Structure 1
Amino acid sequence: MTSQEQEVPDGWRVFRATGHTTDGPLPHLPKAPPWRQFRGGPPQPLPPDDEEAALRRLGPGNVVQQLGPDETDIVNAALLLRRPLLITGPPGIGKSTLAFLIGRELGLGRVLEWNIVSRTTLRDGLHTYDALGRAQAIAAWRAGLREATGTGPGEDADGSAAPSSRGRQRTPALGEFITLGALGTALLPYERPRVLLVDELDKSDIDLPNDLLHVLENGSYEIPELVRDAADSACVHTSDPGGHAVVREGRVECREFPVVVITSNGEREFPAAFRRRCLPLEMQPPTREQLLAIVESHLRERPEGTERLVDEYIRRVRSGGTHSLDQLLNAVRLTTLGGFQADADGRKLMEMLLRDLAKGR
């Protein structure tokens, strides 16, 4: 234990769930345990920020603290142990928002989002290869070469092979047609961990959680197309806008295991082997005071009638319906605008905005 850790009894708690960033150096993360240390390279530059996405998720005002001390400690334990967080709870209570809260507070840059559907496979999250695009590029390159030399494909004017002519033009590089997915980008060798949001994993095919086990355990994967390629390295696209990364010998391995936030609405159970590799966190619905603060944080004010709408929202939630915080924000925004009339048509509109999502319409 270092002298700094002795002076600060809870120095392992780097996340406070406030969303406040520091003006000084970026927060220092605890060193990973020996069994969660990786040696990927070459190091990647700092990731870009995406403050607009964070504003949409967290709002422009002060972040309302929805996590209690116990839940905050679970997040800190996941950061310390370099293990994924498996967050469960009803739809719309802010599970995915936690990824943006961690990213903002710890200064980890743009959140990588992997939205899961029933057809999602592990390869979708790791990388995609545009084989058709590469074939078309090679055909265009060959056509341009023939036009430049005035010969047939691969021939000089006398009909002999022309390797020197081919060498004067750059062939389409394999890496130009490979794009890393959100998971693949998160596993690049960054000096500080990236934040990866795996949203609604319970909607996936039954095999996807098991397919993730190797990647989550080893922090690495291979790109088969690059492994078979003769080149020692390739420059590929990443999930960041305009981003590129160098991959050596077709293998990607992280330096710092990413902060993986996996959300689930509880539609099905996950295999024990998968749950063993995650730290579970169950989020509770916000209280009345928290709901009022959330509305005020997003709208930068508390319009007249907000309390009534919040009470109506709570009543509907307690009656057993499925509702989202977005519905409450939409209702407050619309029904508190000047000129809105709470007549019959207005009541119909509010019923539509606060409808039970479990009923399917």
Structure 2
Amino acid sequence: MNARDNHVTASAWRIFNATGEPPEEPEGAPKLPPAPPWRAFGGEPLQRPAPPDRAGEVRRLGVVQSVGQLDDESVDLVNAALILRRPLLVTGSPGVGKSTLAYLIARELGLGRVLQWSIVSRTVLRDGLYAYDAIGRAQAIASWRGASTDPAAGDAQPPGQPPLGDFVTLGPLGTALLAYERPRILLVDELDKSDIDLPNDLLHALENGSYDIPELVRSGRPEVEVYTDDPEGRAVIRGGRVECREFPVVVITSNGEREFPAAFRRRCLPLHLRPPSRAQLLAMLEAHLQATTEGAERIVDQFLQRIEGGGTHSIDQLLNAVRLSASHAFPTGADGDKLVETLLRDLAKGR
């Protein structure tokens, strides 16, 4: 089939079909086959299922679309990554929908909230694993000791020493590696912006499927409850060590600002996203705006012409242009056209 076609061929081996259609019931979510022996882990204790994030899914994906968002080759690569428990290294032009893929997988497979780790040049591995507030704990212990020696308190005893876990918060990667019955979705966004060492450091954590929290190991406590990256989320850690039960679905995006080490690329499955077709763009507009007009189709055609002309453009630009053009009393004629032209400008030109 042509890579620009929009209909994905049905195949029995696939778990994911790029429709973005959520399971009707949580119990009806697609089941992943058993992991390969080299990707099997036995983390404990088992955590509560991942919380849903319906609002986040709608912001990223809109409502369910009738047109497939990926071609056959791309869908096959995503399924291979799911079955082999390997990270996906997703490349493509800015704004083509690389990070959106994580949300598409999460909604279709019913895997709950996407754990997003946005990378900058100063990011190190520990930022994704956990944070320990040593100063906050020291201040809390000092306050507790002061209360225990306060003469005004008389015989009343203050509550126990502040729990250690109240000062430990797992990051997106650290939360993804907890022991869940179904895998979490981890989005590592724009890894190519990182320091040169981060890809190999990340690879080591993902290969092991586990990590230690030295502050909890040194405490000698058999169990400590800590915060997670999920809103109001808590998790019990045993012996200061975190190990996954199901390897997370890892989507790593890159805008190609630099090459990754061969060892890192060897352990990822590469997926290059091509710009969407006209039918796919119209379906995206329908999903986000719940309506398409003749004017919207004209703007889509302008957008595609600009992409074919070699410019750098984002789907966000198209959504903004169509949304604005549909606004009440939007100017017609030259004024309106000029505004749409500005919204669809070539991002590579810097203005």
1:327 equivalent in structure 2: 317
Q: Which amino acid aligns with 1:180?
A: L
Larger radius of gyration: 1
Q: Work out which of the residue numbers 307, 318, 339 in structure 2 matches 1:349.
A: 339
Q: Aligned pair 1:318/2:308, yes or no? A: yes
> Partner residue of 1:17?
18
Judged with a 3 Å threshold, the aligned counterparts in structure 2 of structure 1 residues 278 and 355 are, in CA distance, closer, same or farther, namely: same
- Range with bigger deviation, 87-96 or 340-349: 340-349
Alignment-derived partner of residue 294 in structure 1: 284
Paired with 1:192 and 1:61, the residues of 2 have a C-alpha distance of 23
Query: 1:256 & 1:338 partners in 2: Cα distance?
Result: 50
Aligned to 2:85: 82
Q: Which shifted more, 235-244 or 280-289?
A: 280-289
Return 5+ residue gaps in structure 1 as ranges: 1-8, 157-164
Q: 1:96 aligns with which of 88, 94, 99?
A: 99
After superposition, give the CA deviation of every residue in 1:251-305 in whole Å (9 maximum; x if it has no partner).
1000000000011111111101001111111111011221122112211111231
Q: Is the 8 A contact 1:19 1:63 kept in 2?
A: no
Aligned-partner residue type, residue 39 of structure 2: R
Q: How does 1:118-137 map to 2 (within 5 A)?
A: 118-137=121-140
Q: Compare 24-33 and 183-192 and name the one that shifted more.
A: 24-33
Q: Which runs of 5+ in 2 are unaligned?
A: 1-9
Counterpart CA distance in 2 for 1:71 and 1:350 is 32
Report the CA distance shift for 1:130/1:121 in structure 2 as closer, same or farther (over 3 A).
same
Paired with 2:66 and 2:332, the residues of 1 have a C-alpha distance of 31
Contact persistence 1:304–1:336 (CA under 8 A): no
Q: Report the Cα offset of residue 314 of structure 1.
A: 1.2
Q: Where in structure 2 are the equivalents of 1:67-216 lying within 5 Å?
A: 67-147=70-150, 169-216=159-206
Length-normalised TM-score, structure 2: 0.92
1:149 and 1:279 mapped to 2: Cα distance? 65
Distance, in Å, in 2 between the alignment partners of 1:223 and 1:83 is 24
Is the contact made by 1:61 and 1:298 (CA closer than 8 Å) also made in structure 2? no
Alignment partner of 1:66 out of 61, 66, 69: 69
Distance 1:17 1:61, change over 3 A: closer
Q: Within 1, Cα distance between the matches of 2:239 and 2:76? A: 39
Secondary structure of the 1:305 match is helix
Which of 255, 263, 268 is the matching residue for 1:265? 255
8 Å CA contact retained: 1:12, 1:30? no
Distance 1:178 1:315 in 2: 51
Matched residue, 1:239 = 229
Q: Distance in 2 between matches of 1:244 and 1:23?
A: 28
| SS of the residue 2:44 aligns to | coil
1:223 lines up with 2:219 in the alignment: no
Deviations 1:298-356 (A, max 9, x none): 11111231121111111222222211101001000101223111345434422321122
* Bigger shift: residues 315-324 or 115-124: 315-324
2:211 & 2:13 partners in 1: Cα distance? Answer: 30
Residues 327 and 146 of structure 1: CA distance in aligned 2, closer, same or farther (over 3 Å): same
Tell me, in whole angstroms, the C-alpha distance in 2 between the residues paired with 1:302 and 1:11. Answer: 34
CA deviation vs aligned residue, 1:3-51 (integer Å, no higher than 9, x gap)? xxxxxx9543111111122324221111001110001000001111000
Contact map agreement 1:12 1:80 (CA 8 A) in 2: no
Residue type at the aligned position of 1:18: T
Partner secondary structure for residue 141 of structure 1: helix
Change (3 A) 1:346 1:234: same
What secondary structure does 1:241 align onto?
coil
CA spacing shift, 1:210–1:243, aligned 2, 3 Å: same
| Count of residue pairs brought into register by the alignment | 340
Q: CA deviation at 1:178?
A: 0.6
Structure 2 Cα separation of the partners of residues 130 and 219 of structure 1 = 24
Query: How far apart are the structure 2 equivalents of 1:213 and 1:247?
Result: 22
| C-alpha distance in structure 2 between counterparts of 1:177 and 1:241, whole Å | 16
TM superposition outliers: structure 1 runs of 4+ over 4 Å? 148-151
Counterpart CA distance in 1 for 2:248 and 2:151 is: 48
Tell me, in whole angstroms, the C-alpha distance in 2 between the residues paired with 1:63 and 1:195. Answer: 24
Alignment of 1:24-63 (within 5 A): 24=25, 25-62=28-65
Deviation at 1:132, TM superposition (A): 1.2
When residues 304 and 33 of structure 1 are mapped into structure 2, their CA distance, relative to the original with a 3 A threshold, is same
The alpha-carbon deviation at position 148 of structure 1 amounts to: 5.7
1:309 is aligned to 299
The separation in 1 between residues aligned to 2:15 and 2:105, in whole angstroms, is 10
Query: Aligned in 2, Cα 1:230/1:356: closer, same or farther, shift over 3 Å?
Result: same
